[in-house]
Structure 1
Amino acid sequence: MSTQPFRPPDPTVDGLIQATLEIANRDAAIRRKLKAALLAGEYSQAIQFASDLVGVKFVPKAVEDDIKAA
């Protein structure tokens, strides 16, 4: 999954609104992919999407095992 590099918002209210909407849309897309992966039983992929959503790039194996066991 490729992500766009962070761009500072324009120093205007419109720029701030646009940046906020871009972040919200990105997060919504990741949440949809996360839900689909969980429903499909693709736990490794779901963990990756969850990591992307919260900004964590490493998930220990024990966490993956706990999610699969749940």
Structure 2
Amino acid sequence: MSKLTAAQRNALPDEAFALPGRRYPIPDATHARDALARASEMLHNGHLTQEEYDTIHQKAENVLRRERL
């Protein structure tokens, strides 16, 4: 996975994150795929609600669709 430095993460607009509080950055396909994997893990461990997982999934899929175009 590509790493985001603190400066790069801070420079991202709020829309580049899947959840409020600037959680789950998804500025590109690599981060979107990682967000999907982490969200699934966190849902199964009880750290995300189904609604949060669904939001992450939808936003990550949108990023992946855009990257394919």
Higher relative CO (Cα under 8 Å, sequence separation at least 6) belongs to 2
Decide which structure has the larger Cα Rg and report it: 1
Bigger helix share: 1
TM-score past 0.5 threshold: no
